[in-house]
Amino acid sequence: MTHDHFEDQLSAYADGELEERAELETHLASCASCTARLVEYRAIGDSLRQRARAEPAPAALRARVEAAIGGAQAAAASPWARRRRPMWSPGVLAAAAAVVLAVGVGVSGWGRRDDSVSKEVLDSHVRSLAGDQAHLFDVQSTDQHTVKPWFSGKLDFAPHVVDFTPEGFPLLGGRVDFIEGRRVAALVYGRRLHKINVYEWPTGGNDTKTAGELRLGYSMLHWSHAGMMYWAVSDVGPPDLEELARNIDSISR
């Protein structure tokens, strides 16, 4: 295949949408211009998202839309107008979605458990992303060879750190977190625009299959493999977490 042909594939590759990756990856290893182009394609997306974050909707627009909606509802003056308004609260929306999901997918194995680990993991995930105190990374890098050594000396075990960019889960970084009073590795993966926290710590027990649950609109998945306990949590759907779990297990087989 020619250099031009590989150039045409770079965009789909950057999106994790290229099926035949092997030849392109071989080419990338030896072609600086294609590698640079790939980096630039990714930077274009990053800077667009950065711009979007840097400019949230103006307060005046929010007020204006709220007033317009209020006016429309008052004009309607029907019973549904009264019960609609609270439905717009994201909290209510997320809670409703969580309940429906829990009921809807419970039959397929995605039930709901109540235990303290699950609560701690979810708290940690929400804390890592939400508000002014958000703290997602101690080490921010997409390079597994930067992230993995960073953990040494900070944990009493060596976590599995692999970048799954080709599989559609780019490694974004990691941090040390605390679950059940012990230090654990928290790795952050991207899934399209979403973030996934994966917690890992050693467990004495045997391998256990993935078990999922939904809490407050978040998907959670936990399993153990090769002596490690894993918890993954995100706002992506359960199938994405299952896919990430398969990727993680494949490296410690």
Partner 1 sequence: MLPHLDAAYAVARQLTRNRHDAEDVVQEAYLRALRYFDGFRGAQTESEQESRAWLLTIVRHTCYSARRRSMDRAETIEFDDRLHSNPLGVDEDQRLTIEQALALLPYEAREVVVLRELEGLSYKEIAQAINAPIGTVMSRLARARERLRKVIGDVAERTT
Q: Which residues bind partner 1 (CB under 8 A)?
A: 8, 10-12, 14-15, 17, 36-37, 39-52, 55-58, 61-62, 64-66, 68-69, 72-73, 80, 84, 87-90, 93-94, 96-97, 100-101, 104, 192-194, 217, 235-237
Least distance CB 225 / partner 1 (angstroms) = 27
Rounded to a whole number, what is the distance in angstroms from the first to the last CA of the chain?
34
Q: How far is the CB of 23 from partner 1 (least distance, A)?
A: 17
DSSP assignment of 75-126 equals HH-SHHHHHHGGGG-HHHHHHHHHHHHHHHHHTTTEE----HHHHHHHHHHH
Smallest separation, CB 159 to partner 1 (Å): 26
Select from 244, 236, 228 the least CA-distant residue to 167.
244
Please give the Cα distance from 199 to 232 (Å, whole number). 6
- Quote the least distance from Cβ 175 to partner 1, whole Å: 21
Specify the residue, 35 or 203, whose C-beta has the smaller distance to partner 1: 35
| Edge-to-edge order in the sheet of strand 208-215 | 110-111, 208-215, 218-225, 228-234, 194-202, 182-191, 171-179, 139-140
| Amino acid at position 9, single letter | Q
Q: Any idea what DSSP says for residue 19?
A: S
Closest to 222 (Cα-Cα) out of 207, 211, 233: 211
Q: Min. distance of Cβ 237 from partner 1 in angstroms?
A: 7
Question: Nearer to partner 1 by C-beta: 12 or 158?
Answer: 12
Minimum Å gap between C-beta 94 and partner 1 is: 5
Minimum CB distance to partner 1 smaller for 227 or for 239: 239
By C-beta, is 93 or 158 nearer to partner 1?
A: 93
Nearer to partner 1, 58 or 205 (CB): 58
φ/ψ of residue 167, rounded to 5 = -90, 0
> What is the DSSP code (8-state) at residue 192?
T
Residue with smaller CB distance to partner 1, 48 or 158 = 48
CB of 85 to partner 1, least distance (A): 10
CA distance 232 to 217: 14
For residue 17, what are the CA distances in angstroms to 9, 11, 14? 10, 9, 8
Closer Cβ to partner 1, 105 or 186, answer by number: 105
